[in-house]
Amino acid sequence: MSELRKDPVTGRWVIISTERRKRPTDFHLEPVQIAPDPSCPFCEGHESMTPTELLAIRRDGSKPNTPGWDLRVVPNQFPVLRVEGTLDRQGEGLFDKMNGIGAHEVIIESPRHLNMLADMSDEAIERVLWAARERMQDLRQDRRFRYIIVFKNHGSAAGSSLDHSHSQLIALPIVPREVHDEVEGAKAHFDAKERCVFCDILRQETRDGQRLIAENGDIVAIAPYAPRFPFETWLLPRRHEAHFENAPRHEYASLARLMGDILRRINKTLGAPPYNLLIHTAPLGEPADEYFHWHVEIMPKLTKVAGFEWATGFYVNPTSPEEAAQVLRDARG
Amino acid sequence: MSELRKDPVTGRWVIISTERRKRPTDFHLEPVQIAPDPSCPFCEGHESMTPTELLAIRRDGSKPNTPGWDLRVVPNQFPVLRVEGTLDRQGEGLFDKMNGIGAHEVIIESPRHLNMLADMSDEAIERVLWAARERMQDLRQDRRFRYIIVFKNHGSAAGSSLDHSHSQLIALPIVPREVHDEVEGAKAHFDAKERCVFCDILRQETRDGQRLIAENGDIVAIAPYAPRFPFETWLLPRRHEAHFENAPRHEYASLARLMGDILRRINKTLGAPPYNLLIHTAPLGEPADEYFHWHVEIMPKLTKVAGFEWATGFYVNPTSPEEAAQVLRDARG
């Protein structure tokens, strides 16, 4: 029989459907493939095709905006928000608006067009995490910003419009609603129990083991109890910390190792599916230190999400997290 | 410059992006087409291929589960929840679950395979709304249920797995989170102002006219102020009423007329896109009568929603509602 399960942070209920049960081989997917593109703006040698770089990790002391880099961060050429200007809040009768102030940056994860994150070295993945940290540390100085989102869309079905491996960073003058709900849920748990809900989850999942996928000294990978999507995976640091950008260096190294490992297990068992990857960190300028706990969420895109699911918040998941965890646990590279 | 806008009910902020501005012809879509299917379980003459019907509107006094019908409601063959059993709530350490009790029904909107809702007569569309009302009136007697969702996925990109025109109804023992947030937002507005927020929206939009698409004596169609999706359209009754299933008969007739009109305008201007349609009604057993206001939301699926959008609640919409409203206003059939 199907089960209704409640996410202990957000309070969101999901249905784990047994009638529509799906094992890894039941998903009919096209593996993500990278098409060669001689005019790709993210390739080494094409530096002039992007806006001026904000950050680069260079092998050889080469000059900015020239070849010789391992990773670059540049402003998005078609930003959803612009960094210039003063934040201007206005009413319009019943309605509220503000001008589109923010930052929208691209982390180009490799100089090579055909490199996918899952196949990169641990060091290369760590560079991506470190670049995100550096940009977050810089952008949080800007008091107009309330939240910084870092995310990766892999494959066009996951929303990516350029094949060359990249992540995006958006700094916002507001806290997005899903983040707000997650933070409020964590706060309510803390108010009731004086414990971090994510620390509680870590304790229960590492002891129980059913939904544990893999772990190392700093980071634990689990299938969450009430996942919206098949094979949804969370990576959490064992040590409590609200802000991703405040983690010590060795945690990025540990996260990079486990993240590469998990992405390769997903590729191996699910046939290189499209996915979204998100860093969940605490809002800026809110006293979330005690009750929020940064983490990474990976969501393989295996099913078509019907519009009604995101409009109602009512998700049907055909693969239980216990089954997903077992499949990924057994998939050691 | 882009604009950040706040939905006055849920408090959700969206970005109306001018950098990525899209006009109707900028969306590259395949029109939804219906493929013939000799083994379609929803076709007239194939009544034995579905579970026993719960409701039928018959032309000729024919017997249940035989040909001669204009509309049938049947249990879903692969339900996400089952109606049999007692609701059993359990804890699992930190976590909460309950067994999958609920109802999952299908409204077969026409006996003919190639009929699409947009092309049906006003009377046929009214039958669909009336059938939803009848099933809601029946299911709300069951005290285990807290919410009834009625929705339509049109086209496989919108999540539909069968071409034959149909809607679905799911009765749930919980209130889904997005519904909860909408109801709570409406309640907060009522608590502050002692007015329904949807009545306030109707007043402002009919007076202002910028986002007004079409109207008749009972129903108003608008582009909402902070839409998540291009050409998102809301249909609201002028008369305040929390529960869809409590509307007077003439409002279903008026809604059917305007809904068919809007769907045809969408088909004409956007090239018969996939879409989702949802009835938003008040939860059961909650005193929402004063502050909630039922309505219908239509969301053409024109853009790929990146996973991060539903995971963060941060939506970027490349078409302003003023532009969408103007296009649909000018598209009179």
Please answer whether residues B296 and B198 qualify as being in contact, where contact means their C-beta atoms are separated by less than 8 angstroms.
no
The Cα–Cα gap between B5 and B319 comes to 13
Distance of CA A161 to CAs A199, A294, B254, B264, Å?
36, 28, 42, 31
C-alpha closest to that of A281 among A269, A291, A292, A265: A292
Q: How many domains does chain B have?
A: 1
Give me the pLDDT at residue A53, please: 98
Please answer whether residues B176 and A13 qualify as being in contact, where contact means their C-beta atoms are separated by less than 8 angstroms.
yes
Q: What angle do CA B107, B109, B110 make, to 5 degrees?
A: 140
In chain B, residues with a C-beta closer than 8 Å to the C-beta of A96 are 5-6, 8
Q: Indicate the pairing of strand A212-215 with strand A219-222.
A: antiparallel
Residues of B labelled catalytic: 166
How do residues A50-99 score in pLDDT, each as one tens digit? 999 999 999 988 999 999 999 999 999 988 899 988 889 999 999 999 99
Give me the pLDDT at residue A24, please: 82
- Pairs of residues, one from chain A and one from chain B, whose beta carbons lie less than 8 Å apart: 221
Instruction: Write the DSSP assignment of B87-121 as a string of letters.
Output: --EEEETTEEEEE-B-EEEEEE--SSTT--GGGS-
* Residue A28 annotated among the catalytic residues of the structure: no
Q: Indicate the pairing of strand B295-300 with strand B275-280.
A: antiparallel
Residue A34 has pLDDT above 80, yes or no: yes
Q: What are phi and psi of B144, to 5 degrees?
A: -75, -20
B72 and A CB contact within 8 Å: no
pLDDT tier for residue A333 given thresholds of 50, 70 and 90: low
Instruction: Write the DSSP assignment of A134-149 as a string of letters.
Output: HHHHHHTTSTT--EEE
pLDDT tier for residue A286 given thresholds of 50, 70 and 90: confident
Q: Looking at the complex, report in whole angstroms how far the Cα of residue B182 sits from the nearest Cα belonging to chain A.
A: 10
ipTM of the complex: 0.90
B275 and A CB contact within 8 Å: yes
- Please tell me whether residue B236 adopts helix, strand or coil conformation: strand
Please answer whether residues A96 and A129 qualify as being in contact, where contact means their C-beta atoms are separated by less than 8 angstroms.
no
The Cα–Cα gap between B219 and B227 comes to 19
Share of chain A above pLDDT 90, in %: 83
How do residues B226-265 score in pLDDT, each as one tens digit? 999 999 999 999 999 999 999 999 999 999 999 999 999 9
Q: Residues in chain B with pLDDT < 70?
A: 305-308, 311, 333
Question: Which chain B residue's Cα is nearest to A99?
Answer: B3
Residues 6 or more apart whose Cβ sits within 8 Å of residue A288: A183, A186, A187, A242, A282
Q: Which of A104, A113, A166, A293 is catalytic?
A: A166
Please answer whether residues A165 and A109 qualify as being in contact, where contact means their C-beta atoms are separated by less than 8 angstroms.
yes
Please answer yes or no on whether B312 and A178 come within 8 Å at the CB atom. Answer: yes
B80 and A CB contact within 8 Å: yes
Please answer yes or no on whether A200 and B98 come within 8 Å at the CB atom. Answer: no
The Cα–Cα gap between A41 and A51 comes to 10
The separation between CA B214 and the C-alpha centre of its own chain, rounded to angstroms, equals 18
Among B96, B159, B197, select the one facing A304 at the smallest CB separation: B159
Give me the pLDDT at residue B333, please: 58
Question: Which chain A residue's Cα is nearest to B78?
Answer: A19
Strands, sheet with B147-154, edge to edge from the N-terminal-most edge strand: B55-58, B69-75, B103-108, B166-172, B147-154, B275-280, B295-300, B233-237, B219-222, B212-215
Residue A159 has pLDDT above 90, yes or no: no
Best of B2, B4, B160, B211 to substitute, by most chain A Cβ atoms within 10 angstroms, is: B4
Write out the H or E segment, with its range, that includes residue B258: helix B249-270
Residue A310 has pLDDT above 80, yes or no: no
In chain A, residues 88-117 whose CB comes closer than 8 Å to chain B: 92-100
Q: Looking at the complex, report in whole angstroms how far the Cα of residue B47 sits from the nearest Cα belonging to chain A.
A: 22
How do residues B134-184 score in pLDDT, each as one tens digit? 999 999 999 999 999 999 999 988 888 899 999 999 999 999 988 999 999
Q: Looking at the complex, report in whole angstroms how far the Cα of residue B310 sits from the nearest Cα belonging to chain A.
A: 6
Angle between helices B177-193 and B197-208 (to 10 degrees): 80
B164 and A CB contact within 8 Å: no
- A21 secondary structure, DSSP code: -
How do residues A254-282 score in pLDDT, each as one tens digit? 999 999 999 999 999 999 999 999 999 99
C-alpha closest to that of A329 among A212, A207, A204: A212
Angle between helices A249-270 and A122-139 (to 10 degrees): 120
In chain A, residues 117-156 whose CB comes closer than 8 Å to chain B: 149, 151, 153, 156
Q: Looking at the complex, report in whole angstroms how far the Cα of residue B148 sits from the nearest Cα belonging to chain A.
A: 11
How do residues A122-147 score in pLDDT, each as one tens digit? 999 999 999 999 999 999 999 999 99
pLDDT tier for residue A224 given thresholds of 50, 70 and 90: very high
| Mean pLDDT for chain A overall | 94
- Please tell me whether residue B157 adopts helix, strand or coil conformation: helix
The separation between CA A250 and the C-alpha centre of its own chain, rounded to angstroms, equals 19
Give me the count of residues in chain B: 333
The Cα–Cα gap between B313 and B306 comes to 11
Question: Which chain B residue's Cα is nearest to A158?
Answer: B306
Best of B32, B177, B179, B320 to substitute, by most chain A Cβ atoms within 10 angstroms, is: B177
Q: Indicate the pairing of strand A13-16 with strand A3-6.
A: antiparallel
C-alpha closest to that of B116 among B233, B56, B199, B31: B31
Given its phi and psi angles, is residue A285 left (phi above 0), alpha (psi -120 to 50 degrees) or beta? left
- A63 secondary structure, DSSP code: P
- What residue ranges in chain A does DSSP mark as E strands? 3-6, 13-16, 55-58, 69-75, 89-92, 95-99, 103-108, 147-154, 166-172, 212-215, 219-222, 233-237, 275-280, 295-300, 315-317
B186 and A CB contact within 8 Å: no
Please answer yes or no on whether A314 and B176 come within 8 Å at the CB atom. Answer: yes
Instruction: Write the DSSP assignment of B51-71 as a string of letters.
Output: SPPSEEEESS-PPTTSS-EEE
Give me the pLDDT at residue A1, please: 76
Please answer yes or no on whether A97 and B3 come within 8 Å at the CB atom. Answer: yes
Q: Looking at the complex, report in whole angstroms how far the Cα of residue B11 sits from the nearest Cα belonging to chain A.
A: 8
Angle between helices A249-270 and A321-329 (to 10 degrees): 100
Say which CATH number the domain at A62 has: 3.30.428.10
In chain B, residues with a C-beta closer than 8 Å to the C-beta of A78 are 19-20
B210 and A CB contact within 8 Å: no
Please answer whether residues B118 and B263 qualify as being in contact, where contact means their C-beta atoms are separated by less than 8 angstroms.
yes
Give me the pLDDT at residue A307, please: 66
Instruction: Write the DSSP assignment of A152-185 as a string of letters.
Output: EEESGGGT-S--S-EEEEEEESS--HHHHHHHHH
Please answer whether residues A101 and A142 qualify as being in contact, where contact means their C-beta atoms are separated by less than 8 angstroms.
no
Lowest mean pLDDT among A5-19, A183-197, A233-247: A5-19
Share of chain A above pLDDT 70, in %: 98
Please answer whether residues A247 and A132 qualify as being in contact, where contact means their C-beta atoms are separated by less than 8 angstroms.
no
Task: For residue B44, give its domain range.
Answer: 3-329
Q: Looking at the complex, report in whole angstroms how far the Cα of residue B27 sits from the nearest Cα belonging to chain A.
A: 14
Residue A235 has pLDDT above 70, yes or no: yes
In chain B, residues with a C-beta closer than 8 Å to the C-beta of A275 are 307
Among B20, B82, B299, select the one facing A311 at the smallest CB separation: B299
pLDDT tier for residue A101 given thresholds of 50, 70 and 90: very high
Q: Looking at the complex, report in whole angstroms how far the Cα of residue A14 sits from the nearest Cα belonging to chain B.
A: 9
Question: Which chain A residue's Cα is nearest to B157?
Answer: A304
Question: Which chain B residue's Cα is nearest to A170?
Answer: B314
Please answer whether residues B64 and B73 qualify as being in contact, where contact means their C-beta atoms are separated by less than 8 angstroms.
no
Please answer whether residues B71 and B125 qualify as being in contact, where contact means their C-beta atoms are separated by less than 8 angstroms.
no
Task: Give the mean pLDDT of A20-37.
Answer: 85
Among B3, B18, B100, select the one facing A1 at the smallest CB separation: B100
Question: Which chain B residue's Cα is nearest to A227?
Answer: B311
The separation between CA B291 and the C-alpha centre of its own chain, rounded to angstroms, equals 20
